[in-house]
Structure 1
C-alpha cells in the first residue's frame, strides 16, 4: 500500500485517511489502488469493529486527479475505466463489509470525493465542509456510485437538480437534505467521531453487519422478501450467547420495578 492512503488499526478500529493533502486528496490510480487494498484489509481483518474514513489537510477529497486525466492524453477512456473501476471495487467493499463505516468530512468533498463522503453509515462534517457533484464543471457524468446513493438520500428530483446544475452545498445545507448525519462544532470532528465509534464498538458486531446488509438491500427488495430477510436475521442473531445475556440482563433490570408496581396495583 502506498502512502496516499494511510491505514491505522488500533483496538478494533481501522482509520483510513486519504493522504495527498497537497493535491486536495484528489484520486489518482495509485490512490484508488491503495484504497481498494485498504478496504479489503478492513473487510477481512478478524475482530475489527468499526472503520473510519477521513481526509488529511484542508480538503476531504477533491475528486478525481485532473492532472492525471490530462496526462492520460488520448488514452483517457481506458484510463478512466481503470480508475473508476478500481475505485468502485473499493466503494463496494466498504459498503458491503460487516463493519459500520463512519466518515469524517473535514473539508470540501467534490466529485468522487462526494461519493466517498456519503457512503458512511454515520457522516459527520466540519461547519466549513462543502459538498459538490463537480462533474458538470468538466463535462463528465458521475462515478463513485453518486447516481445511486444521492437519489436515495435526497429523492430523485433534488438529486437531478444537484447533479445537473452542479450545485454546491454547505455543511448545513447538506445536513438539511439528509446527506450528513450531523454538523459538529468547529475543531470537534475527531472528538465527535471518537464518540460515535465508541458507541458502535460497544454494540454487537454481528447485528451491525446485519443492519448494514438489510438497509443496503432494502431499495431493490420486495416487501415480503425484506420481511423474510428480517425474520431470518433476527432469529439467527438471537441464538448468540451475547444476545441472550443482554436480554436476560435487561429483563432482570426491569423485574424489581415491575414487581413493585404489581404490589401496589
Structure 2
C-alpha cells in the first residue's frame, strides 16, 4: 500500500488524506494511482457511507509535482498525466454513489483546487486558499477546472481566475459560491467531521440518486431533467430508508437510516 495516501474508516466515514506533506501534497504518479485505488475501495465498501478527502500538513494539495514532469526519466508526459492520473480521479469523484466532502485544510492549487471543487461539498479552513495556478507556467486549467469553475461562480469570474491565476481566500470562495463554507482554524476539524458524520447517517441511496440528478443537470435540458427526477424519485420511494423517514415523521422521532 502506498504511503502517499492514508485512509481511516470510522463511523461509516472513510477519511482519505493526501500524504506528501513535504511537497504540499503535490501529485506524482504513485499518489494519483493510490487515490484512485482508495476511491474505488470506498465505492465498493458497504461499511462506508460518506467520504472525506483532505490533506496532511499545511496544504490540501499543490497540484502536480513539477519535479516529476521536469525529470526526463520520471516524466510520464501530459497525455498520461491527464488521461491516467487526473481524469479518472474526477470521474470517480462524480460517479461514486456516496457523498464526498473535500476538507481544504490549506492551499489548494492547480489540479489540487479542481479536484476539491469536483467534490459534492467543499469546506475550508479560514487559512485556505484556492489558486488556478496553471497560467503562471503556461498551461490551462485541467482536472475539470474549465467545467466546474464557470458553473460554480459564473463565466466572467471563472475566466478571470483561470487567466490571471489570482489567489482566492476561503472567505472569498464562500462569498462567490466556489465552496459551501469556511470555518475558523480552531473549529475546522470538528465542524467538518460533524458534517460528514451527518451525511453518513442519512439515506445513502437517496443521496446517490440526488448526486446522479445533479450530475445530469450540468448537461441536460428541462425535459430530460424532469424525466430523471421522476425515475429517481420512484426509485427512492421504494427504499427502506424512505419508509423509515416517513414512519419517523409520523411518530415524531429521529429517523434511523440504514442506507438501504
> Into which bin does the TM-score normalised by the smaller protein fall?
over 0.9
Q: Deviations over 1:30-84 (max 9, x none)?
A: 11111111111111212321000000100111111011111037x95x5222122
**Distance of 1:245 and 1:105 partners within structure 2:** 34
The question of whether the paired residues in 1 share the 8 Å contact of 2:11 and 2:197 is answered with no
**Distance of 2:127 and 2:244 partners within structure 1:** 44
What is aligned with 2:80? 82
What is aligned with 2:110? 111
The question of whether the paired residues in 2 share the 8 Å contact of 1:35 and 1:87 is answered with no
What is aligned with 1:35? 35
What is aligned with 2:242? 243
Aligned residues: 252
**Structure 1 runs of 4+ off > 3 angstroms?**
none
Q: What SS does the corresponding residue of 1:33 show, helix, strand or coil?
A: helix
**Distance of 1:241 and 1:69 partners within structure 2:** 50
Alignment of 1:1-265 (within 5 A): 1-72=1-72, 79-85=77-83, 86-253=85-252
TM-score, length-scaled by structure 2:
0.92
Deviation at 1:187, TM superposition (A): 2.5
Q: What SS does the corresponding residue of 1:72 show, helix, strand or coil?
A: coil
The question of whether the paired residues in 2 share the 8 Å contact of 1:53 and 1:101 is answered with yes
TM-score, length-scaled by structure 1:
0.91
Q: Which has the higher helix share?
A: 1
Q: What SS does the corresponding residue of 2:238 show, helix, strand or coil?
A: coil
- Unaligned stretches of 5+ in structure 2? 254-260
User: In terms of mean alpha carbon deviation, does 7-16 or 140-149 score higher?
Assistant: 7-16
**Distance of 1:140 and 1:17 partners within structure 2:** 27
